[in-house]
Amino acid sequence: MAMKRINIRDLSLEEIEALISSLGKERYRARQIMKWLYSGGGVQSFEEMTTLSKPFRSQMEELAFIGLPEIEKIQASKDGTKKILFRLEDDLFIESVLIPGKNHWTACISTQVGCRMGCRFCLTARQGFRRNLRPSEITGQLEIILSSLPEGPNVRSIVLMGMGEPLANYRNTLKALGILTSDYGFGFSNRKITLSTCGVVPMIRQLGRDICINLAVSLNAPDDAVRNQLMPVNWKYPLESLLAACRDYPMPGRRMLTFEYILIDGVNASPAHAEMLSRLLRGIRCKLNLIRFNEFPGCPFKSPSEDTVLAFQQILVKHHFTAIIRASRGRDILAACGQLSGKALEENTSQCLV
């Protein structure tokens, strides 16, 4: 019975080294393969890796293949944001978002098909959980963006804030992060990568031990009572344990933790909530991203008024916090925070590019 071929892009440098060592080849060949995969224009076959001998290329073709997600559709928002729908090899779908900045673009990528965390304000959660993404599918979103889209060369930062909870797919996410930051991979600086979590406390602590990247915590409430209503994860990891892990998370130099706070009218956006939040975060070196709730069909929550958001921000500023009102990009194409669904047949009035 023939052995099933593996996707070489699912392997770390160390795993490729082990594989080719088992074939009697020099370990440095693994670095050559990595360069071809991630710095050589995204080759599609081992035959294109001309620094390897032909017999070795044939050996590798028998053992492995090079697989990437495929673009199914691209939608463009009025504000310049682009949402990319990817088809996976098992015909499931995920979404990534390209967010325009002043002189650069940010790629927002997914780590799971759907999500099992159940946050009540999130459209992805309503799709349920299908499966974890493999490392090749996580990094593959970026590979396609960099190599196939005109904005690709100007992508300067990466946020793991797409579909899914990255820390619930820890092993594959960590391997993908290693490839994203490796000199033999994509070569992104740790400073340019941010992982967003709803608060899986043990894995926050593990992440701090394994790799040094920026951490953004989806907080969304100033006390356990409100957070329990919005985020089921809080029943298992309440605020006391979450904030203890945040205080211990290593953020070198002048970097700060980010707390994301989605403001929902009548739920967590009052001046009293802002005062409680100020007390809760006292002593933590952090900044806050304030995000107006992005409405989507069938959700009971409403976005607060601009005056409500400004009043909330001013209270935090009064207590000496850096609080930024983050513009929600791509609302008109359901590409903003909490709106990704991975639906292949979704219809709306936005411009469809593919």
Instruction: Provide φ and ψ at 88, rounded to 5°.
Output: -95, 170
Cβ contact 353:76 at 8 Å: yes
Residue among 64, 38, 36 nearest 50 (CA)? 36
Catalytically active residues are: 95, 337
User: What token pair was written down for 340?
Assistant: 């990704």
Which CB contacts under 8 angstroms, 24+ apart, belong to 293-298? 293/121, 293/262, 293/263, 293/264, 293/265, 293/338, 294/328, 294/331, 294/336, 294/337, 294/338, 294/339, 296/123, 296/334, 296/338, 296/339, 298/126
Left, alpha or beta for 160 (phi > 0: left; psi -120 to 50: alpha)? beta
Q: Degrees (nearest 5) of the Cα angle 197, 202, 203?
A: 50
Cβ contact 178:15 at 8 Å: no
Instruction: Provide φ and ψ at 53, rounded to 5°.
Output: -70, 155
